[in-house]
Chain A
Amino acid sequence: MRRGLQFVFGGTMAELTATGDSRQGIEAAYMAQMRHKRILNLIGILIFAALLIGGFQAADNRNAGGFWDGLPNVLDFPGDVLSEAWERSQLLPGYFIKYLPSLLETINIAAAATLIGALIAFCMALLATRGLAPAPWLIAPVRRTLDILRAVPEIVIALVLIFLLGGGPVPAMIAIALHTIGALGKLFSEVNENASLQPVEGLQSTGASWMQRMLLGVVPQVAPNYLSYALLRFEINIRASAILGFVGAGGIGYDLRNTMSWGQGKFDEAAAIFLLLFATIVIVDQLSGVARNRLTHGKAFADKGAVI
């Protein structure tokens, strides 16, 4: 918009000196420009709306059940699950305890994957940042590696690894860790790029090695942001870990699929797992939100009752 205006004024300035005509010329040119812009915007919006509606039609056609047929039944399944859970609510605490080990496994998969992924991402980010990398020719290949790691969905690696290593938490952990390296590596190297190089230069003048320069000059600057990003990743990874469990990698997702397959009349255990998963996600989100706020805005900000 601003560019458009500049252009209009620029154009009419030239006209002004040429014709001597003043306000009307400016106004007419401006209105014409606006009309042109509005028409373009309208066309853009129409194309977008057409894509959205056409896309919805296409998706509806290729779906097993239609949207309008299924819509009235959306609440049936949650209704069944919740009512069965309500009927046998006295059993729920028992189920919570029964599935606690699986939940712990899901959380452990996410935590271990985040930890290992963040540690490797930390090293790779240092190698991928201009000004910090010990070998500049390494920057491009490391960045491409990170791009590819980020592009592969966890489920792809997990399914292949399940074939090779058998089911269980290890394939899921490796799959999530690999994706985490890609995602965090990019964010970390962006943080590194904003770090001041002066401490590094100061350390270099004292004869510090590359390792010492990084640990003493860079890490103290970037650590809060690193931790904040790693916590955010942990939230995401808990969800991913539950999903991978659902395709056979262990943890609460695996139990969820089993209990779901028992069918109607036995949904109370599935309901217990739904609730456990929901509660875990909400609690971890909240805790990590508080921690991230402290890390990025400082303790005082959080204490003042900032919105989280």
Chain B
Amino acid sequence: MTTAVLKSDTTALFRRKRLGTLAWPVLIAAYIVYVFFAFDVPGLADRISVKNMQTLVADSYSYKTHVTRDNRSAEVSIAIEGERKGAYAPGTSPDWVALGEETVIDLGEGHIVTFGPDTVSYNIPDYGLITAQPGSSGVNATLPTGQTPDWISASKNRMAITTDAGRLTITRNRSEVFKYSGGWELFFFTLDSPYHGMSFGQLVGTGEYAAIWQDFWRNKMWRHYDVAWALFETLLMAFLGTFGAALIALPLGFVAARNFSPLGSLRFAARRLFDLLRGVDGLIWTIVLSRAFGPGPLTGALAILLTDTGTFGKIFSEALENVDGKQIEGITSTGAKPLQRYRFGVIPQITPILLSQVLYYLESNTRSATIIGAITGGGIGLLLTQAIATQKDWEEVSYYIILIILMVMAMDTLSGWLRRRLIKGT
């Protein structure tokens, strides 16, 4: 073969290879383009809800206080997030609201709203005074002369003013002010607790630790007690599911391992059982089990248990098939009985593999337990779906998400630590 032929062959080979390497990116790009249109990504722009996005972001770091005046009975009520559990007791108010014949609400930066006996007025710096006499004839608003800016929407029966300081809505029956403040409201104590508004030093000073703890733990707004239980339920699902599956899968793994199970048909049956348990996904197991046991942590634990029995069975039987026969021989040569052979010849060999797999799954099952909880109704997953479904308590959603991330990371650390400790013995 001459060098010329060799060279042309090599060039051709290189060209082919180059085309081949080029084909992959092209294929991937083509698939992404296909998905782009199959999922209707261009239509997404219409479906995106900017308003929802603003609510979500604003709610997750701030809260609003409603000051509401019933225009017929002239009663003024103040409630955080407009919820009854966040309501101020009659006659009490935050320091920016002055109650009386005339209720004066100081929204800050010179924005003052006054609920008079007949007149509602809003003094906006750099704009002017807006007044309204809500009654059966309508809102009867008077605006400063000039063009109405777009942050005011006024009609005969309804007026809404949105400024950076807050928001005022007036209808015939109701005048309502929203004031936005930073932070998560009433996270430690609700308004009906005597400890609300105390600093840490003052709390320590009272010395009533049991009562303080009780008020915090039973906080109606944030429900710390329920949240703690929900987290515990989720961890419980992961713990019971993972270790229950490991306990069931260990004997089944022996049955399915070629070198321990003489009966071919039994081996085949065990392996198909593992395939079935893994193939029927956790989702389907969850649905089936929740029909029999109802929602709750037990259902979740059993769903994890069933799926993972299949996974562990497969892993365990493979580990058992790779066991070194020499150690068993050595034990046999000392006259050990079969059970002793397993105990001292086999178990020490497979323990590290099994433990590390089981602990790895413990961490990943904490995440699965959250998901299963959301489907079947249990644990922190349930709280999260409930909070999202109400579409207003986004600060709670953020709180739960943070808790979930911390929980999973803690389990990750714990399982890593246990793995190192139990397997390497350090």
Per-residue interface assignment for chain A, residues 52 to 64, with 1 indicating a CB less than 8 Å from any chain B CB and 0 otherwise: 1001101110111
| Among candidates B48, B275, B298, residue contacting A282 with C-beta atoms closer than 8 Å | B275
A151 contacts B47, CB within 8 Å? no
B47 contacts A153, CB within 8 Å? no
A242 contacts B283, CB within 8 Å? yes
A169 within 8 A of B: yes
Q: Residues of B contacting A155 with CB < 8 Å?
A: 370-371, 374, 381
Per-residue interface assignment for chain A, residues 232 to 253, with 1 indicating a CB less than 8 Å from any chain B CB and 0 otherwise: 0000000100110011000001
CA distance A277 to B409 in the complex (A): 31
A1 contacts B348, CB within 8 Å? yes
Q: Residues of A contacting B173 with CB < 8 Å?
A: none
What residue of chain B has the Cβ atom nearest to residue A152's Cβ?
B405
B293 contacts A65, CB within 8 Å? yes
**How would you classify the secondary structure of chain B's contact residues: helix, strand, loop or mixed?**
helix
What residue of chain A has the Cβ atom nearest to residue B28's Cβ?
A115
CA distance A77 to B294 in the complex (A): 12
Evaluate whether A58 and B283 lie within 8 angstroms (CB atoms) in the complex, with A74-B289, A115-B32, A159-B388 already known: no
Q: Residues of B contacting A56 with CB < 8 Å?
A: 240, 298, 301
A154 within 8 A of B: yes
A70 within 8 A of B: yes
What residue of chain B has the Cβ atom nearest to residue A169's Cβ?
B39
In the assembled complex, how far is the CB of residue B110 from the closest CB belonging to chain A, in whole angstroms?
35
A224 within 8 A of B: no
What residue of chain A has the Cβ atom nearest to residue B247's Cβ?
A52
What residue of chain B has the Cβ atom nearest to residue A179's Cβ?
B367
B299 within 8 A of A: yes
What residue of chain A has the Cβ atom nearest to residue B412's Cβ?
A151
| Among candidates A77, A116, A277, residue contacting B292 with C-beta atoms closer than 8 Å | A77
Evaluate whether A60 and B281 lie within 8 angstroms (CB atoms) in the complex, with A155-B374, A159-B384 already known: no
CA distance A55 to B388 in the complex (A): 29
Evaluate whether A64 and B371 lie within 8 angstroms (CB atoms) in the complex, with A160-B388, A242-B283, A285-B279 already known: no
Chain A: number of interface residues, binned into ranges: 35 or more
Chain B: number of interface residues, binned into ranges: 35 or more
Identify the interface centre among B31, B374, B385: most chain A CB within 10 Å of its CB. B374
Per-residue interface assignment for chain A, residues 37 to 62, with 1 indicating a CB less than 8 Å from any chain B CB and 0 otherwise: 00000000000100110011011101
A246 contacts B283, CB within 8 Å? yes
B39 contacts A153, CB within 8 Å? no
What residue of chain A has the Cβ atom nearest to residue B239's Cβ?
A55
A160 contacts B32, CB within 8 Å? no
Contact residues, A58-108 vs B (CB, 8 A): 58-60, 62-67, 70-71, 73-74, 76-78, 105, 108
Per-residue interface assignment for chain B, residues 329 to 344, with 1 indicating a CB less than 8 Å from any chain A CB and 0 otherwise: 0000000000000000
Evaluate whether A165 and B281 lie within 8 angstroms (CB atoms) in the complex, with A77-B291, A156-B404 already known: no
A304 within 8 A of B: no
A31 within 8 A of B: no
CA distance A22 to B237 in the complex (A): 53
Q: Residues of A contacting B367 with CB < 8 Å?
A: 151, 153
Q: Residues of A contacting B204 with CB < 8 Å?
A: none
Q: Residues of B contacting A154 with CB < 8 Å?
A: 371
Q: Residues of A contacting B375 with CB < 8 Å?
A: 243, 246-247
A152 contacts B401, CB within 8 Å? yes
B391 within 8 A of A: yes
CA distance A216 to B366 in the complex (A): 39
Q: Residues of A contacting B294 with CB < 8 Å?
A: 63-65, 70
B296 within 8 A of A: yes
Contact residues, A92-147 vs B (CB, 8 A): 105, 108-109, 111-112, 115-116, 147
| Among candidates B49, B370, B425, residue contacting A164 with C-beta atoms closer than 8 Å | B49
A59 contacts B233, CB within 8 Å? yes
CA distance A64 to B412 in the complex (A): 30
Q: Residues of B contacting A208 with CB < 8 Å?
A: none
A29 within 8 A of B: no
CA distance A160 to B396 in the complex (A): 13
Q: Residues of B contacting A191 with CB < 8 Å?
A: none
Per-residue interface assignment for chain A, residues 244 to 287, with 1 indicating a CB less than 8 Å from any chain B CB and 0 otherwise: 00110000010010001000000000000010011001100100
CA distance A254 to B332 in the complex (A): 57
| Among candidates A67, A71, A109, A152, residue contacting B404 with C-beta atoms closer than 8 Å | A152
Q: Residues of A contacting B404 with CB < 8 Å?
A: 151-153, 156
Q: Residues of A contacting B381 with CB < 8 Å?
A: 155
Evaluate whether A77 and B288 lie within 8 angstroms (CB atoms) in the complex, with A55-B239, A152-B404, A156-B404 already known: yes
Q: Residues of B contacting A281 with CB < 8 Å?
A: 279, 281
B408 contacts A151, CB within 8 Å? yes
A67 contacts B293, CB within 8 Å? yes
A199 within 8 A of B: no
Q: Residues of A contacting B52 with CB < 8 Å?
A: 163-164
In the assembled complex, how far is the CB of residue B48 from the closest CB belonging to chain A, in whole angstroms?
6
A111 contacts B31, CB within 8 Å? yes
Q: Mind listing 18 A-B residue pairs with CB under 8 Å?
A: A52-B244, A59-B296, A62-B233, A63-B295, A66-B293, A70-B293, A71-B292, A74-B288, A109-B39, A115-B32, A147-B412, A153-B408, A159-B384, A165-B48, A243-B375, A246-B375, A277-B283, A285-B278
Not counting A70-B294, A156-B404, a sample of 8 additional A-B residue pairs whose C-beta atoms are within 8 angstroms of each other reads: A56-B301, A59-B237, A60-B298, A115-B31, A170-B39, A173-B35, A173-B39, A243-B283
